């Protein structure tokens, strides 16, 4: 009865679908991007995350949370990942090639969404490392530009090579047929490095506190009257930018109660 039983199990809609890898790009020995097929029925809001995984040797799925890095209107799904040498999932996932299969969860979710923010003039998207991933989705959503006059994406990494994905992404978005026109008018990209010399060196948190960020951008300092903030990165970044927001009387928002800022930990898939 074993084969019949197996078929019966796989025919039942499980918590994930099996998708095919379309392309893989390696940026550094720590960072890579991959693109997979998207099931017709898969719907998500820009900024949400989903479970991604591979089957383990015993056949059971090994899954981790990943931010969706592609826009909701795209025909395939993008992900931006760290490589952890001893990580159960990413030590294997980093070797995927075009044509390989990966597991995709069925239920996207998250708080880094436009619905969780009140209307405002200027939207800050503050990221470090792979925390840029949900913003790769949001900066390609026309609604982002309908809701805000200016969209400021900040990305801080240790080294310049780690900024490549973001640099290429923003260039492509500004060149895009669908949203390029809005992005060229409203999207500002601010990238800094912390552990080597670069055109702009320092943590974004220090540059907010000192006012350097606003001077460089030519905008007034953070103000809950006009500004909204989305934060995605390391736990330290979340804690520090959240405190900066609270100190300036910003209120944290959620899907149920939209407000001035929202926070999501960058999923450091292991």
Asked if 67 touches ligand A2P (CB under 6 A), the answer is no
User: What is the phi/psi pair of residue 165, to 5°?
Assistant: -55, -50
Least distance (Å) from ligand A2P to the CB of residue 180? 29
Among the listed ranges 14-22, 41-49, 68-76, 150-158, the one in contact with ligand A2P (CB under 6 A) is 150-158
Q: List 263's β-bridge partners, or say none.
A: 231
**For ligand A2P, which residue of 83, 106, 158, 265 counts as binding (CB under 6 A)?**
158
Residue with smaller CB distance to ligand A2P, 66 or 145: 66
- DSSP helix/strand/coil, 155: strand
87/98 Cα distance (integer angstroms) = 21
Least distance (Å) from ligand A2P to the CB of residue 66? 16
Residue with smaller CB distance to ligand A2P, 87 or 258: 87
110/116 Cα distance (integer angstroms) = 10
Q: List 59's β-bridge partners, or say none.
A: none
Token readout for 103 is 């597991």
189/117 Cα distance (integer angstroms) = 21
Going 197 to 79 to 23 to 51, the CA torsion angle's sign is positive
**Residues 222-251: x where in contact with ligand A2P by CB under 6 A, - otherwise, as a string:** ------------x-xx--x-----------
246/72 Cα distance (integer angstroms) = 31
**For ligand A2P, which residue of 72, 156, 250, 260 counts as binding (CB under 6 A)?**
156
Least distance (Å) from ligand A2P to the CB of residue 218? 22
66/49 Cα distance (integer angstroms) = 5
Touching ligand A2P, residues 96-115 (CB under 6 A): none
Element (H, E) at 208: helix 204-210
Residue with smaller CB distance to ligand A2P, 220 or 236: 236
Least distance (Å) from ligand A2P to the CB of residue 131? 8
**Residues 174-213: x where in contact with ligand A2P by CB under 6 A, - otherwise, as a string:** --------------------xx-------xxx--------
Least distance (Å) from ligand A2P to the CB of residue 191? 11
Q: Which of 218, 81, 63 is nearest to 150 (CA)?
A: 218
Q: Which of 85, 77, 23 is nearest to 51 (CA)?
A: 77
Asked if 55 touches ligand A2P (CB under 6 A), the answer is no
Asked if 128 touches ligand A2P (CB under 6 A), the answer is yes
Among the listed ranges 54-62, 114-122, 152-160, 175-183, the one in contact with ligand A2P (CB under 6 A) is 152-160
Q: Which of 4, 147, 151, 166 is nearest to 69 (CA)?
A: 166
Q: Which residues bind ligand A2P (CB under 6 A)?
A: 128-129, 156-158, 194-195, 203-205, 234, 236-237, 240
């Amino acid at each position: 009865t074993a084969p019949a039983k197996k078929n019966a199990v796989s025919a039942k809609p499980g918590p994930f679908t099996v998708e095919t890898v379309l392309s893989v790009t390696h940026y550094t020995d720590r960072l890579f991007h991959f693109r997979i097929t998207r099931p017709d029925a898969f719907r998500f809001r820009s900024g949400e995350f989903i479970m991604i995984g591979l089957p383990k040797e015993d056949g059971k799925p090994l899954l981790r949370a990943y931010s969706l890095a592609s826009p909701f209107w795209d025909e395939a799904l993008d992900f931006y990942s760290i490589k952890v040498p001893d990580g159960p999932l990413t030590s294997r996932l980093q070797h995927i090639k075009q044509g390989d299969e990966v597991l995709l969860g069925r239920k996207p979710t998250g708080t880094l969404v436009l619905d969780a923010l009140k209307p405002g003039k200027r939207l800050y998207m503050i990221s470090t490392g792979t925390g840029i991933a949900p913003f790769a989705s949001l900066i390609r959503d026309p609604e982002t530009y309908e809701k805000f006059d200016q969209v400021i994406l900040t990305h801080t990494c240790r080294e310049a090579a780690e900024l490549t994905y973001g640099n290429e992404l923003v260039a492509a978005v500004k060149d895009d047929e669908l949203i390029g026109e809005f992005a060229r008018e409203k999207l500002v990209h601010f990238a800094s490095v912390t552990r080597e010399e670069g055109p702009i060196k320092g943590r974004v948190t220090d540059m907010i506190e000192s006012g350097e960020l606003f001077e460089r951008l030519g905008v007034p300092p953070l103000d809950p009257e006009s500004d909204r903030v989305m934060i995605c990165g390391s736990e330290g970044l979340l804690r520090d930018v959240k405190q900066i927001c609270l100190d300036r009387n910003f209120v944290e928002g959620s899907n149920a109660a939209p407000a001035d800022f929202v926070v999501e930990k960058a999923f450091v898939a292991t």
